[in-house]
Amino acid sequence: MKTKHTLLFLMMGASMLGACVSEDQDLAPNLSQTGVAKKGRLTVNLNSNARFDVTTRALNEANYRNTNNYTVQIFKSGSDAPLMTCQGSELTTNLPKELEIGSYTVTASYGTESKASRSDFRVEGSKTFTIEADKDASVNVDCAPTCGKVSVAFDSEMATYYDNYSVTFGGTKALGTETFEWAKADTEPWYVQLGTSAETINYTISLTAKSEYAITDATGNKQTTGTVTGTFQLERNKAQKLIVKPNYVAPTEGGITITIIIDDSVNERQETITVPVSWV
């Protein structure tokens, strides 16, 4: 009889122990049987999609296509504190990296965000991914500029008819009421901060005609200053160039008109507009 009681007690104990183990596994699915957090391994590949291809005195765009220059950070979902920060050139020494299973985001960036700048712009990208137990995660992060590029080319004949000319741009959400200008002798492009969707850029061409090409109004006064206005669409990672050319006819027939060629140098599409000058 004593042996039977002992056997029954051992069977009950084993049953309770089995129930405890099962319950612990349900409460801690991210832990291995030894109680250590399950982990997976991460590798990151950076790609730069910056399409601009110009080197100017103020800026070398090749630096923005070199992913070794980028700052890379890894964040656990729900946390603002990075688990790792390094340069793109250091990825091969910092990765693969073991991470506990869960959701993460990797970010990569280079440059400085500006409403409009000739000396800097920003390239960035991010990717959210999941780490699974004992698996390798290879994450590709595609980075692209957060701006578009604007430039102006004044035809050489402008100097024949005008003493001065310039273009003022504005209209983006980031700029608000602010503007930026392309002066008569400028050569450096502008990099304009944009949202994720295309934005409308407003432009005003300001002109000061030489006296012999001025328009005479009804009172006999010569009008030497005038403007031409218009708009175009600009997207991130794309470029637009305004080519401004004069077209002269006799003042009795309207005087000088302006031909504006909007040159999308990325898509190789041109739009030509001829408009009269609004004399002030």
Q: What are the residue ranges spanned by the domains of the chain?
A: 39-145, 147-279
User: In angstroms, what CA-CA distances link 12 with 18, 21, 110, 177, 241?
Assistant: 10, 15, 64, 79, 84
Q: Rg of the chain's alpha carbons, rounded to an integer?
A: 32
Mean pLDDT of all residues in 239-266: 82
Question: Distance between CA 242 and CA 246 in Å, rounded?
Answer: 13
Architecture of domain 147-279: Sandwich (2.60)
pLDDT at 25 over 80: no
Does residue 9 surpass a pLDDT of 90? no
Among residues of the chain, what percentage have pLDDT more than 70? Answer: 80
Order of strands across the sheet with 239-248?
116-117, 190-193, 147-154, 239-248, 256-264, 269-276
Beta bridge partners of 278: 227
Residue 55 confidence class, pLDDT cut points 50, 70, 90: low
Under DSSP, is residue 88 helix (H, G, I), strand (E, B) or coil?
Answer: helix
The answer to whether 39-145 and 147-279 have equal CATH topology is: yes
Q: For 87-136, write each residue's pLDDT tens digit.
A: 999 999 999 999 999 999 999 999 999 999 999 999 999 999 999 999 99
Query: Rounded distance, CA 220 to CA 4, Å?
Result: 127
Q: Which residue has the higher pLDDT, 21 or 131?
A: 131
- Predicted local confidence at residue 101, as pLDDT: 94
This prediction's pTM: 0.81
Confidence of residue 253 (pLDDT cuts 50, 70, 90): low
Residue 69 has pLDDT above 90, yes or no: yes
> Tens of pLDDT along 184-221?
999 999 999 999 999 999 999 999 999 888 887 777 78
Alpha carbon 16 to chain centroid distance?
60
Which architecture characterizes domain 39-145 according to CATH?
Sandwich (2.60)
Residue 31's pLDDT band (cuts 50, 70, 90): low
Q: Worst-scoring range by mean pLDDT, 24-28, 157-161, 177-181? A: 24-28
Mean predicted confidence (pLDDT) in 224-250? 91
Specify the higher pLDDT residue, 35 or 255. 255
